[in-house]
């Protein structure tokens, strides 16, 4: 009886460990999944490829969700000696001559209100912009730097399109404790860096544009 109880406890512990979130970074081009929910434990636990260089300027920085995180990312780029053009409501017309589309992912009801649009209109804009970038062979980098405050019902609506389309991604770990972003990246094998703080993104940007 004692051995049976011990075996059951070990089984429960093993299942608990398998359900936990894995770490790592991702390289792929499958961009069809529009679900923001983790697809499977094996996907979440998959190792993600590391970031590599090769991304080029000029860079267009835009927002997916109209949060102030795009301003933070522009500052991080400046500190990395990388010049970007910020256009939070960018459309296909802004892609002329652009080599890299950098997307700041995170929703803000205040930002959407100031822009005079709702979440559905913003999602449609981002989808059209991503499609235009892909048609023009423009590489896409998705960044989530807002941490836990940039997650929730509103922000999560903006996760799938940028991260499914990304050729590379940078994520502040505190914004993905539930592995929703990671599941999108792992499904598409996107080269990814998870970092502890916004300041750590500077080194990632340097790597990407080396």
Which domains are present in the chain? 2-208 (3.40.50)
Segment of 4-18, 26-40, 51-65 carrying the highest mean pLDDT: 51-65
Closest-CA residue to 61 (of 37, 45, 78, 44): 78
Instruction: Give pTM, 2 decimals.
Output: 0.81
For position 149, what pLDDT does the model report?
A: 92
CA distance 30 to 169: 14
Torsion of CA 74, 105, 145, 193, to 10 degrees: -100
For position 47, what pLDDT does the model report?
A: 85
CA distance 85 to 155: 23
Residue 129 near residue 105 (C-beta atoms within 8 A): no
For position 44, what pLDDT does the model report?
A: 60
Q: Average pLDDT of the chain?
A: 85
Residue 146 near residue 106 (C-beta atoms within 8 A): yes
CA distance 181 to 81: 28
């Amino acid at each position: 009886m004692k051995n049976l109880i011990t075996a059951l406890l070990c089984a429960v512990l093993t299942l608990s460990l398998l359900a936990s979130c894995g770490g790592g970074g991702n390289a792929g081009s499958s961009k069809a999944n529009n679900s923001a929910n983790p697809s499977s434990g094996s996907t979440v636990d998959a190792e993600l490829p590391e970031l590599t260089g090769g991304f080029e300027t000029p860079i267009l920085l835009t927002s997916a969700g109209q949060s102030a995180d795009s301003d933070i990312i522009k500052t991080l780029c400046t500190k990395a000696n990388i010049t970007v053009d910020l256009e939070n409501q960018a459309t296909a017309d802004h892609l002329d001559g652009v080599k890299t589309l950098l997307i700041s992912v995170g929703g803000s009801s205040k930002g959407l209100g100031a822009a005079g649009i709702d979440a559905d209109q913003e999602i449609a804009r981002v989808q059209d912009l991503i499609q235009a970038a892909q048609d023009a062979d423009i590489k896409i980098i998705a960044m989530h730097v807002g941490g836990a405050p940039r997650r929730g019902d509103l922000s999560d609506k903006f996760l799938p399109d940028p991260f499914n389309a990304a050729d590379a991604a940078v994520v502040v770990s505190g914004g993905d404790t539930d592995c929703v972003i990671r599941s999108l990246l792992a499904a598409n094998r996107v080269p990814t860096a998870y970092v502890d703080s916004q300041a750590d993104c500077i080194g990632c940007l340097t790597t990407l544009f080396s």
